[in-house]
Chain A
């Protein structure tokens, strides 16, 4: 079992390489195709044409795109992501500093989404076509179709401005002040998590309905297994298999939403760096931040896949069989 698991991890890690190459190439092209000039953004609208030319030459922007890409990729592989066009600060350390911030935000928001989705999905699926199912399904649609920035604004207005319970935004590292960190992270995590839970609730509900219609559920009932035991021992683990697979995809969307939420709550994470990179046409910053997000999504997908493997014994080969 452990051998096949290791082999799986190895192959999945190996598959990261082509994924990263394609993702970075697409990003590189997209960044350069978007209207706007890096030089103009860095030097301001009053810069002379000569100054703009000089800037572009200095940063190699006047060379063919392919050449720029190969040079960027070569350096990135060695951990050198270049310096910001805006202030000549090295990009690598800046991104690294922000990784834990975004990881905490996305991770906690994902937990919020899952903690909402599992019980609600189970109730709706188990009590399929009842009032409870109707309420949960309506909630899920409502959650899933709410724009997260709108929900974020609403939360700030209510909990921060009206009630004054929580700060409107900002960030304090957890190590410095755990309470301060959590009370600033709470609203953004809810805004992200609730919206993500919309899809996940429905996935969990469908998974539970699917499992409940399986023959082995009737077998369990014929043994005298009651509802509680039925759900906890027979339904949940089977329903988790499709649920986890889809939730990995949903995590990708969630990380995408981080860009806007970090801006709304003024959280200095990767997302706000992406935004800064776009607005300033600061290519090194944008590329480094976006690639970091890609790696985070890939790693989380791998972890979730491994979890699905552990849950489903059919996926893991063992020594004997018939």
Chain B
């Protein structure tokens, strides 16, 4: 679990990805800056950061789902050695090679189509399958994500499913084409804590059963630590620290990562006040000289006026800080 080793197949490789938001009056603002990350076959990789850190847009850019005014201006995305940013139709990859489990389960399903129809849609789009065969597979998929009475409930509409069941259905949908890589975009944020745990268990279970890789996007470092093999921590559009879960937690280098670990609510300690990181994340268009975390950093010093580069601390562990 700690280090899958270099022998594992490189499934996804993102190299120096920069995404900008175009603006009518202002110059374009970077949403993601020079982001490099990779996912090996069979790995669960966490991409962690506060809202506004650019993690979701980084994931969406991989399957060509950036909003209208955003675009990738430099960098490369290779999936199994194939260039995904070559301007070809991203529709071929979506759902078939890379699937998405969307954020906000309660609004991610079409209210006027049955669960079964929606779960089976990728099969229709990519496989041109017949309806009867799809129905069988959909039943199996829903069973696999533990929907009770799956075959009958496939005929239900989303409003007849609870939030947790909708998220399970969305997970089943992502699995339908047996894609090698699944992007899970905060799949548990809209759900109760107990349901969150069930979804997390389910994802681990599915990785073991199908061998699929997951890029798990979350703002909750504590949550992903329980099941991710490796973690990337993102701040204001940049990867600030990356490494195995063990390295991130037990040999933390970056002050931001340390703050994130500290910000996780715990049962022990002072329950009156939840620890927070002071200040706010800079907006994409704000000009910042030097380290982007400097203003909120308790450990900032004279060197921070110059932007730090990503340093390697041995193995997979890398960090972006002068004082680490």
Contact = CB atoms under 8 A, between A and B. Distances in A.
B125 to A, nearest CB: 5
A78 interface: no
A321 interface: yes
A223 B108 contact: no
Interface stretch (A53-61, A69-77, A249-257, A307-315): A307-315
Contacts of A86: none
Contacts of A234: 110, 113
A320 interface: yes
A224 B111 contact: no
A224 B91 contact: yes
A320 B156 CA distance: 9
Contacts of B102: 215, 218-219, 222
Q: How big is chain B's contact interface, by range?
A: 20 to 34
B112 A311 contact: yes
Contacts of B118: 219
Given A223-B122, A223-B173, A216 B160 contact: no
Contacts of B63: 222
B78 interface: no
B64 to A, nearest CB: 9
Contacts of B108: 215-216, 218-219
A313 B160 CA distance: 10
Contact of B109 (A219, A241, A311, A312): A219
Contacts of A220: 110, 121
Nearest to A226: B91
A235 B194 CA distance: 34
Given A237-B112, A322-B165, A223 B94 contact: yes
Contacts of A321: 156, 159-160
B104 A322 contact: no
Chain A CB within 10 Å, residue with most, of B96, B103, B125, B162: B125
Interface string B58-80: 00000101000000000000000
Contacts of B160: 318, 320-322
Contacts of A241: 112
Nearest to A313: B157
A318 B161 CA distance: 13
B157 A216 contact: no
A313 B125 contact: no
Given A215-B107, A322-B161, A224 B112 contact: no
Contacts of A311: 112
Interface string B113-126: 10000100110011
B109 A216 contact: yes
A238 interface: yes
B221 interface: no
A168 to B, nearest CB: 46
B169 to A, nearest CB: 11
Given A238-B111, A318-B160, A320-B160, A224 B126 contact: yes
B65 A218 contact: yes
Nearest to B89: A226
A312 B118 CA distance: 16
B99 interface: yes
Interface in B21-58: none
Contacts of A229: 125
Interface in B134-171: 156-157, 159-162, 165, 170
A228 to B, nearest CB: 11
A313 B173 contact: no
B187 interface: no
B231 interface: no
B255 interface: no
A322 B107 contact: no
B318 interface: no
B82 interface: no
A223 B157 contact: no
A214 interface: yes
Nearest to B162: A322
B172 interface: no
B65 A225 contact: no
A96 interface: no
Interface of B: 63, 65, 91-96, 99-100, 102-104, 107-113, 118, 121-122, 125-126, 156-157, 159-162, 165, 170, 173
11 contacts: A214-B107, A218-B65, A220-B110, A222-B95, A224-B96, A234-B113, A237-B113, A238-B112, A241-B112, A314-B157, A321-B160
Interface of A: 214-216, 218-226, 229, 233-234, 237-238, 241, 311-314, 318, 320-322
Given A215-B103, A218-B108, A313-B157, 15 more contacts: A216-B107, A216-B108, A222-B94, A224-B95, A224-B126, A225-B95, A225-B125, A226-B91, A226-B125, A234-B113, A238-B110, A241-B112, A314-B111, A320-B156, A321-B156
